[in-house]
Amino acid sequence: MSVIDAAIRPPLVTGGKTYKDVTADICRPLENKPTRLWWIGFIVSFFCLMILVASLFWTTWTGIGVWNINKSVMWGWDITNFVFWVGIGHAGTLISAILLLFRQKWRMSINRSAEAMTIFAVMCAAIFPLFHMGRIWVGAYWVFPLPNAFGSLWVNFNSPLLWDVFAISTYFSVSLVFWYLGLIPDIATIRDRATTKGRKFWYNFFSMGWTGSVRTWARYEVVSLILAGISTPLVLSVHTIVSMDFATSIVPGWHTTIFPPYFVAGAIFSGFGMVLTLLLVARKVLNYENYITIGHLEAMAKVVMLTGTMVGLAYITEFFIAWYSGVQYEQYAFLNRAFGPYWWAYWTMMSCNLIAPQVFWFKWARTTPWFLFIMSIIVNVGMWFERFVIIVTSLHRDYLTSSWVMYEGSYIEVGIFVGTFGLFFTCFFLFCRFLPVINMAEVKGILKNKE
Amino acid sequence: MELNNQYWKGIEEAEGQPEFVQTKGNEFHEALPLEDVLNATDLDLSSNRRDFLKFFGFSVSAVALAACQKVPVKYAIPYVVKPQGVTPGNANYYASTCLGCNTGCGVLVKTREGRPIKMDGNPLSPISKGALCATGQASILSLYDINRLANPLIDGKEEQDWTKLDTDIISKLGSIVSANGGIRIVTKTSNSPSFDKAVVAFKAKYPTAEVVTYDPISYSGILLANEQSFGKKVLPSYNFDKAEIIVSFGADFLGTWISPVEFTKQWVTNRNPKGGKMSKHYQFESTLSLTGTNADVRVPMRESKEGIYLISLYNELAKLAGTSQLPVKQNAELAGNAIKNSAKELFAAKGKSLVVSKSNNTNNQILVNGINIMLGNYGTTIDLNNYSNQSKFVEADFEKFVSELSSGSVKGVIFVGANPVYSYYNSAKLADGLKKAKLVVSTADQKDETSDLAGYVCPDNHYLESWGDAEPKAGVYSFTQPTISPVFNTRQAIESILLWAGTPAAAANAYEYIKSNWAADATIWNQSIHDGVYIKPSTIASVPSFASNLNEIATTLVANAPKGDEAELIVYQKVGVRDGAMANNPWLHEVPDPISKVCYDNYVSVSKTEADKKGLKQDDVINISVGGYSIKNVPVLIQPGQASGTYAIALGYGRTQSGKVGKDLGKNAYPFLKIANGTTSYNISGAVTIESTGDTYNLAQTQTHHTIEGRDYIREASLDEYNKNPYVRNEGKLDLVSLWEEYDYSNGHKWGMAIDLNACTGCGACVVSCHIENNVPVVGREEIRLRREMHWIRIDRYYSFYTPNEYLTKEDDINKENTDVYDNIRVVHAPVMCQHCSHAPCETVCPVLATTHSSEGLNQMTYNRCIGTKYCGNNCPYKVRRFNWFRYNDNDKFDYHFNNDLGKMVINPDVTVRTRGVMEKCSFCIQRIQAGKLSAKRENRKVQDGEVKTACMSACPSNAIVFGDMNDPNSEISKLYKNERSYHMLEEVGIKPSVSYMTKIRNVESNHKSTEHHS
């Protein structure tokens, strides 16, 4: 892609970096010994990952009963976490696919890590629908339309859960291929710089014989565009389908047509929240301030504000429609969210997702890294609560008042949630250690001073 | 052709070297390097033959010892010789009598391959009339209770051989008699002619022997009142079916009082508003009883003041009749002029009315007799000629026995079916007395408080292993026949008594003995065993002459009535657990109390007003003491409808000697009981002291929200509204558009169910029946706290609170009112099970098609296919789907009957026991549907209406549940679907349920000023 930038535009990469600087800067964390900070982060993450393993083992060994879900609230922390993680994944796809198609150059220094985040987040997400099954040992493959010898035994194409299976698996595989494809030129660079035999072998293996010839670059560009084209509908479809798990049901508070756009907006919102969290740390720790500039942060803050406001609009619309519908159950469901026993969850959600992002109307808020970091955490918390509010407050008081219950997560459920963070960050730390966090090849394309 | 070629093994052979030739015959040619392998130390092992034998002997005996551990042998062997009358896979039914309590309900016992697995009421029995209560349903599990005694005990040690016990007991009895010491057989109320005859034989052998009747629950107030009024010390028969006006002072006749199944069957006959008439039922009581929840008008009343309210009622009636009134200064009145109003209506329905009272105070009961005499109810709604034998317990006899025991004049005691050490109010005195006796025998079939003190425990058979006869009502004989050979080394109590009386073993056999008592007419015997009952032509009811001085009684009652408003404690029986005899039966604890919905515990229930006054909240743990006895650490339950100023605690808990389930469950309230004027008093006078411990205890409740929040899935109206418009609250016919294609049910059956909210009393018999029929697991208290009970059918209980001009179902509105509103409540019971929706929301969301629709309209679960996403459960608007959170069988965490081989014998072989991780729910008893269809097919006919009954329907004592084929235009269900009161719960959701509910109609004047409806 040719790079024609207006002279008045602030440069996307600052610090007067040259090609050589880019390669050196980005390869540095891979080629040096891991830092103390990396080790601490990795060990803590790995410990959390072990909590995940233990919690999942205990759940599968003993039964889903070790969670606190009950006869009325049959989905609790599990599906809350599932939607939370799937949502987080969305920023990666959005950045890599839609922003690519829209030729948004600023995406170039963040797309790699955002895509990695997508993949790890989808891995975390996939744990929940798998392990929330009462019989994972058969469910894990019965949900696929596999030919079998049981006569007419088949999956139910009416069920949104089945759509989920397709949506998530497609999403994961496309994201993985797209991410890997983008990595190939950079892996080749590392291969060429490798000094030890082992590194040479492995990076050579994974670079798939990349030569950097014009022809390969041309092919690369075309395939990237095609994959971007395939990924683009996924940005919309995955969370639309996830939202249909709720929207197609008859549970008051779930049964709303607004869910697909509302969920997609929420997903991008939470995804950017998570990207901000990660990059704010990474740029500091890895000294990438010149690549991930304030300009990037500001652009992301704007997306956060926009999507946060969209989500907030959806919250208010839901409330209005519940009143307007005249359906008693629907009205009660929403009043109960705001003023019932889980009011604190609702107002946490409201203040984190709708009110807090409004500070981004001020430039200072958009351009101050430490403040952005706090905001990104708030966004993540808010979006977790959004899913909790949707799932738990709708189920705990639905039609027949006799079955109204209260629900709070058990230690195991909390353990699994904490554990998915362990999985996520373990993967992320390994990623930082072995793969370039910034797409060197693309960033070189947007350098102003090419020497 | 012979092979001449010779193959050499080596050059040595070819050359025929001498070394080779020498070793040629050996197995190994080379010398084996044995010396290298066996080093010096090994080689000089000094083991000789003797050592070898020692080691050998040790090993053999060690192995033998190790092998001695009993390895469970699991048999799954088909019958080698098929027993006559048993076809594997086919159920056999035997008529018998339920002895879960003393009521004597006739039952039909279903057996499969020789195991009784289910009981339903025997339609021929005039007591059960084809239904059976929760307690009776559950009693079958006591047969398979692993805590039953496997052998008789001598001083707590098991003894295989009965002869040693018999010899011991007979010699001790003999020596007691020769020393002129008293012998007492302490038995629960016996109404068995054969048992009474056996006792006569026993008394003949041991002249100092006497029978003492002991029941944990006393009705002696009625017995003694009838003795004084009419000269007959009996319980009368009540005919609630003939009563147009019923006034009950605390008598829980639908739940626990005397004969609840019989009374429910009677009561419900007048509860159908079709035709514009219904009986009117007033209930004045302190605690909210099951009967109170079903009354048209229920007014909270302090039980200690019942006497003065009875006087008021008498005087109001006397005023109307123009006869002389009782001498009191001022007539007491209940809220809403309930006494005056009820008196008017009672008087208008003279001869067709009924006044009953729970009170065990003789004077109160005499006054009730007087009122009924004045109303002319004897001979119509009350029958003294065909009296009841269901309780004969009079405290005086037992008191005398206890003092004789303490004084040492009684030396031998035989307890038959009685456990007074647990349930007697002064059990310490009784236990002390028993220590002085030379011989204490108990026939308890499992360890209990009394048998624990008995030197000899001669376990009785479970009644399903026994022969027996009973005469629960004069002229009504009900027979018990064994449906399984004794599981353990037990012996029927009647045989024990006969053997000790010196009857030869052959004649002492229960079967032979009872049969010989009916020998006068062999045809009666055969037919009676077949039918389960034998009914003598009844005596014509008549009006007895009344001889009591009511003026004197009124004066006493007024003098004894409490003057102030000090708090009082009510001790009552809970539906299900009842007197606590079956405390070790998990089904009874798993089924929630019909009112409080609490499982597994008893608690102090208290009115909202009183709780506010004392600063008590639900689940607070308190110490309560009254009259010298106190219970520590008992939780509090705020009970709407409870009379303010009263506390109540249920009997039947706090067993100290019982099996794993029943032991130390709840608190024992029996020691609160006091004897006043010769009868046990259940409202305990004396200052009630409440002491908060500061702790809380989470009561396991299956329902924690108690009002319908103005939703209209429960519909109710008053009788006059109904008479004006039979479609009242049911007018709006919804015009629903569906996105789904309709199923075509025109071919074959379309099953449906109708539930009459007006008939359902909430007794819980259906819940236990379903539990048994469908192998529903018992999950225990902790799981119920987590809201994970597994019942396929539940009974929702809703309160509504009424103020003078409206009635409230929204919590916010109720909280705005002052606490008085908690006194004025109305209750609806609504059984809810899977509604088998035609457009079932569960079916569309299952990713693997584990729940599907049948061509007969059933919503089916395929357990094998279920992967447990639980989406169906979330999407079920009725919340009737139940998930197997754990494996509930063979799991020590759930140590109930599914965790042992004996308990598993109660499992219905026609229903799968679900594994962990799958969803389950009501199947409309598909196994019964299939059985019905099969038998119709075999006989080449159509399935008849009423042939297929679900377990809930067959258990229901109030006929509230009707199941049938909606494709049959003449079926009862088809007719009920056309009933004006019929509606579907949550019809507006568009899921087309196959269960229809029928509006509850109360016989009250309309006060629906603002009943909420949504469009």
| Dist CA B1010 CA B651 (whole Å) | 40
What are the CA-CA distances from residue B887 to residues A64, B23, B589, B916 (Å)? Answer: 10, 69, 20, 4
Q: What is the largest CA-CA distance in chain B?
A: 146
Length of chain A: 451
Collapse the DSSP code of B886 into the 3-class scheme (helix H, G, I; strand E, B; otherwise coil) and give the result: coil
| Dist CA B788 CA B773 (whole Å) | 20
Nearest-CB residue to B867 (from A133, A250, A406):
A133
Axis-axis angle for helices A77-93, A369-388 (nearest 10): 130
Collapse the DSSP code of A451 into the 3-class scheme (helix H, G, I; strand E, B; otherwise coil) and give the result: coil
Cα torsion B481, B485, B487, B493 to 10°: value is 50
Who's near B946: CB < 8 A, 6+ residues apart? B964, B972
Residue A296: pLDDT over 60: yes
Neighbours of B653 (CB within 10 A): 24
Q: Which residues of B touch A405 (CB under 8 A)?
A: 704, 787
Mind telling me how many Å the CA of A428 is from chain B's nearest CA? 30
Q: Under an 8 A CB cutoff, do B873 and A71 touch?
A: yes
Q: Which residues of B touch A62 (CB under 8 A)?
A: 886
Length of chain B: 1015
Contact predicate B306/B246, CB 8 Å:
no
Q: Write out pLDDT tens, residues B908-949.
A: 999 999 999 999 999 999 999 999 999 999 999 999 999 999
Mind telling me how many Å the CA of A150 is from chain B's nearest CA? 11
Amino acid at A436: P
Q: Write out pLDDT tens, residues B736-772.
A: 788 888 889 988 899 999 999 999 999 999 999 999 9
Among positive and negative, which fits the CA dihedral A348, A350, A353, A356? negative
Mind telling me how many Å the CA of B886 is from chain A's nearest CA? 5
What are the CA-CA distances from residue B336 to residues B299, B377, B414, B608, B828 (Å)? Answer: 8, 26, 52, 20, 21
* pLDDT of res. A25: 84
Nearest-CB residue to A398 (from B789, B877, B883):
B877
Who's near B8: CB < 8 A, 6+ residues apart? B14
Give B 679-708 residues with CB within 8 A of chain A: 703-708
Contact predicate B817/B808, CB 8 Å:
yes
Residue B67: pLDDT over 70: no
Nearest-CB residue to A63 (from B710, B787, B885):
B885
Phi-psi region of B794 (alpha: psi -120 to 50; beta: other; left: phi over 0): beta
Band of residue B41 on the pLDDT scale cut at 50, 70, 90: low
Q: Would you state the structure tokens that stand for residue B174, as one six-digit string?
A: 């003999």
Give B 943-1002 residues with CB within 8 A of chain A: 985-986, 989, 991
Residue A394: pLDDT over 70: yes
Phi-psi region of B910 (alpha: psi -120 to 50; beta: other; left: phi over 0): alpha
- Average model confidence (pLDDT) for chain A? 89
Residue B1: pLDDT over 60: no
Q: Under an 8 A CB cutoff, do A250 and B991 touch?
A: yes
What are the CA-CA distances from residue A53 to residues A161, B79, B447, B719, B897 (Å)? Answer: 25, 50, 46, 63, 34
Amino acid at B724: K
Mind telling me how many Å the CA of A75 is from chain B's nearest CA? 8
3-state secondary structure B427-457: HHHHHHHHHHCCEEEECCCECCCCHHHCCEE
Q: Which residues of B touch A75 (CB under 8 A)?
A: 870-871, 874
Classify each residue of B846-862 as buried b or exposed e, where b means 16 or more C-beta atoms within 10 Å of its C-beta.
bbbbbbbbbebbbbbbe
- What is the pTM (predicted TM-score) of this model? 0.90
* pLDDT of res. A448: 66
Report yes or no for ipTM above 0.95.
Answer: no
Strands (E), B844-977: 851-853, 859-861, 882-883, 919-920, 961-965
User: From the centroid of its chain, how far is CA A294?
Assistant: 22
Mind telling me how many Å the CA of A393 is from chain B's nearest CA? 12
Contact predicate A400/B796, CB 8 Å:
yes
Among positive and negative, which fits the CA dihedral A143, A148, A152, A153? negative
* pLDDT of res. B1014: 37
* pLDDT of res. B971: 93
Q: How many residue contacts between A and B have a Cβ separation below 8 Å?
A: 167
Q: Which residues of B touch A332 (CB under 8 A)?
A: 709
* pLDDT of res. A7: 59
* pLDDT of res. B1009: 47
| Dist CA B517 CA B521 (whole Å) | 10
- Average model confidence (pLDDT) for chain B? 90
Residue B253: pLDDT over 90: yes
Q: Please spell the DSSP secondary structure of B28-63, one letter per residue.
A: -SSPP-HHHHS-HHHHT----HHHHHHHHHHHHHHH
Contact predicate A397/A333, CB 8 Å:
yes
Q: Under an 8 A CB cutoff, do B870 and A75 touch?
A: yes
What are the CA-CA distances from residue B196 to residues A109, A267, B202, B1008 (Å)? Answer: 98, 80, 10, 57
Q: Which residues of A touch B851 (CB under 8 A)?
A: none
Collapse the DSSP code of B472 into the 3-class scheme (helix H, G, I; strand E, B; otherwise coil) and give the result: strand
Q: Would you state the structure tokens that stand for residue A244, as one six-digit string?
A: 């249909």
Q: Under an 8 A CB cutoff, do B845 and A158 touch?
A: yes
What are the CA-CA distances from residue B657 to residues B437, B456, B574 (Å)? Answer: 21, 16, 20
Band of residue B804 on the pLDDT scale cut at 50, 70, 90: confident
Q: Under an 8 A CB cutoff, do A156 and B849 touch?
A: yes
Band of residue A1 on the pLDDT scale cut at 50, 70, 90: very low
Mind telling me how many Å the CA of B880 is from chain A's nearest CA? 8
Neighbours of A417 (CB within 10 A): 23
Higher pLDDT, B967 or B520: B967
Spell out the long-range contacts of A414-417 with Cβ–Cβ below 8 A and sequence spacing 24 or more.
A414/A77, A415/A51, A415/A52, A415/A54, A415/A55, A416/A52, A416/A55, A416/A56, A416/A59, A416/A77, A416/A78, A416/A81, A416/A127, A416/A128, A416/A131, A417/A77, A417/A81
Q: Write out pLDDT tens, residues B113-171.
A: 889 999 999 999 999 999 999 999 999 999 999 999 999 999 999 989 999 999 999 99
* CATH classification code of A19-136+156-445: 1.20.1630.10
Instruction: Tell me the mean pLDDT in the region A132-160.
Output: 87
Band of residue B43 on the pLDDT scale cut at 50, 70, 90: low
Q: Would you state the structure tokens that stand for residue B368, as one six-digit string?
A: 């009730």
Among positive and negative, which fits the CA dihedral A239, A241, A242, A247? positive
Classify each residue of B519-528 as buried b or exposed e, where b means 16 or more C-beta atoms within 10 Å of its C-beta.
eeeeeebeeb
Q: What is the DSSP letter of B351?
A: T
Determine how β-strand B439-442 pairs with β-strand B679-681: unpaired
Instruction: Tell me the mean pLDDT in the region B438-460.
Output: 93
Where do the domains of chain A lie?
Answer: 19-136+156-445
Element (H, E) at B717: strand B716-718
Who's near B130: CB < 8 A, 6+ residues apart? B120, B121, B122, B123, B954
Among B616, B799, B615, B822, which Cα is nearest to B704's?
B799
Which domains can be identified in chain B, with CATH numbers?
A: 222-388 (3.40.228.10), 565-701 (2.40.40.20), 716-733+749-1002 (3.30.70.20)
Instruction: Tell me the mean pLDDT in the region A271-291.
Output: 87
| Dist CA A135 CA B870 (whole Å) | 11
* pLDDT of res. A384: 95
Q: Under an 8 A CB cutoff, do A155 and B848 touch?
A: yes
Q: Which of B708, B797, B861, B874 to mutate to test the interface with A (most CBs of A within 10 A)?
A: B874
Band of residue A331 on the pLDDT scale cut at 50, 70, 90: very high
Contact predicate B957/B253, CB 8 Å:
no
* pLDDT of res. B534: 92
Mind telling me how many Å the CA of B555 is from chain A's nearest CA? 48
Q: Under an 8 A CB cutoff, do A161 and B989 touch?
A: no
Q: Which of B870, B889, B890 to mutate to test the interface with A (most CBs of A within 10 A)?
A: B870
Mind telling me how many Å the CA of B953 is from chain A's nearest CA? 22
Classify each residue of B40-63 as buried b or exposed e, where b means 16 or more C-beta atoms within 10 Å of its C-beta.
eeeeeeeeeeeeeeeeeeeeeeee
Contact predicate B306/B562, CB 8 Å:
no
Q: Under an 8 A CB cutoff, do A142 and B704 touch?
A: no
Burial class (CB in 10 A: 0-12, 13-18, 19+), B919: buried
| Dist CA B479 CA B518 (whole Å) | 11
| Dist CA B113 CA B490 (whole Å) | 22
Element (H, E) at B299: strand B297-300
Nearest-CB residue to A63 (from B704, B796, B886):
B886
